[in-house]
Amino acid sequence: MKFYQLCLLLLLCTCARAQTSLSLSDAIQEGLANNYQIRLAKADIAIAENNINDALTGKLPTISLGLNPGISYRNNANPASIVAKSTTFSYGIGPSANLSWTLFNGGRIAMNRERFETLANQSREQLQVQVENSVADIVDAYYNAVVTQEQISVRQRVLNLSRDRIRYQEVRAEFGQGGTFNELQARDAYLSDSSLLVGQQLQYRLAIRTLLQVIGADDMNQQLALTTELDEVTEDYDRTALESQLLASNSQLSALRVNKTLANINTRAIDAEQKPTVSLNAGAAFDYSLATGNQTFVFGDGNPDSRSLPGIGATTLSSQIGLGINYLIYDGGARNVRTQTAKLQEITANLNVDAVAQQLRSALASSLDRYENQREIINITRQLIDNAERNISIAEERFKGGTINSFDYRAIQVSYINAEFQLLNALLGLKNTETEVLRLTGGIVD
């Protein structure tokens, strides 16, 4: 087996494993299903939606039942009384029921429900942010792996050229026209290309592992066959329309607007504390007691008469209903402080929306600048590759004709590699920029 055949066999053996086909859409679905942050966000939504209930707003009345059993002991001595001495035990039980119903508290009942509904909306917006970020990460990781795989193909084509050089030098040597120096140069180029190919295969495995991590795969060592190709983005974007779409649909801005609404609800709730609270209160109680013991009577003859006290039961039934009106007149100024703090927090929430909107608009403008720049680079690089391909074809003929040396021929090969890599990186950058534009404008999960 020849030298270059052995090297090629070693390279191929590193890739001979069973592969699992994976498209971009499958990767996104798997990633969204496995992402723990998304699953936690969905759990938060379920909790927030469960809290949208009148039972937590104070709208419904509260009813309580009570039971007060008890035992009492009494030892009484009073020589001046007919009952000079008594020892009694009393056994009692007193069930009761109470109702309290807030009829008016300045509208805070409705505000409480609005707060719960807004908190649920906030959880949904946070889920949307997490989903969009996850999709963007998956898309970037997927296409990075695709490009890394394409770079392996470029390395392989160059390796084939180096292998052809070795064959050419071996044929020349058979006819006595080649020398040891030229053959060594060819083998050096082949070894160098082999080393770069092995390194590129490592980069591909690392890119695949990053993709597996992003989609939440359990087996981090599985081999993937990526079926979605890197297509060139050709869309012409309207900057004004995209900026309007960003302000209307960006999930991060939407989440901040929900925070702004929550701050406003908090301010209104504190203001409502200045209004009275009216409540309906009703209750009923029943008390039953049983008394037993001994009593000593002293009548006019001075002789004490001790008697056992039979079980004497007594019952009491009581009920009440009425309105309670409470109005806070003075609390040391605490309410005014809370009101001022709530208004400042509302101002801060408004400023956060404006500040982030400005940052996102700047990020969108920068992304669109990169997009246009990368499209120009791609056009230029394609021309550069065309020239490099023609140049390497001519150089191969001249090299075989002896008009250029192996160093010049190698330099032309390197230029071809660089041009191919530059094009792939530009296509990847263009795709990443498209993903970022879609994420900023809220269109990445449409």
- 178 φ/ψ angles, rounded to the nearest 5 degrees: -100, 165
Q: CA 232, CA 375: separation in Å to the nearest integer?
A: 9
What CATH number did the domain enclosing 389 receive? 1.20.1600.10
Annotate 171-222 with DSSP letters as a single string.
HHHHTT---HHHHHHHHHHHHHHHHHHHHHHHHHHHHHHHHHHHTT-S-TT-
* Residue 274 near residue 335, CB atoms below 8 Å: yes
Element (H or E) spanning 26, and its range? helix 24-34
Range of the domain at 175: 3-63+107-275+332-440
Residue 22 lies in a domain: yes
Residue 59 lies in a domain: yes
Q: CA 371, CA 434: separation in Å to the nearest integer?
A: 7
Burial degree of 217 (CB within 10 A; 0-12, 13-18, 19+): buried
Residue 74 lies in a domain: no
Q: Where are the alpha helices (DSSP H) in 327-405?
A: 334-401
Residue 286 lies in a domain: no
Residue 44 lies in a domain: yes
Q: CA 385, CA 421: separation in Å to the nearest integer?
A: 10
CA 255 from centroid of its chain's CA atoms: 12
What are the strands, taking DSSP E only, across 119-234? 223-226
Residue 322 lies in a domain: no
pLDDT tens track of the chain, all 446 residues? 444 444 444 444 444 456 889 999 999 999 999 998 899 999 999 999 999 999 999 999 999 999 988 888 888 777 767 776 778 888 888 899 999 999 999 999 999 999 999 999 999 999 999 999 999 999 999 999 999 999 998 888 878 877 776 676 665 556 555 556 666 777 777 788 888 889 999 999 999 999 999 999 888 888 999 999 988 888 889 999 999 999 999 999 999 999 999 999 999 999 998 899 999 999 999 988 887 877 777 776 667 767 777 777 888 899 999 999 999 888 888 999 999 999 999 999 999 999 999 999 999 999 999 999 999 999 999 998 888 888 878 887 787 777 777 677 778 878 888 888 889 999 999 999 999 999 999 999 86
Cβ atoms within 10 Å of 226's Cβ, excluding its own: 22
Residue 30 lies in a domain: yes
Q: How many domains does the chain have?
A: 1
Residue 176 lies in a domain: yes
Query: Residue holding tokens 């990767």?
Result: 27
Q: CA 241, CA 228: separation in Å to the nearest integer?
A: 29
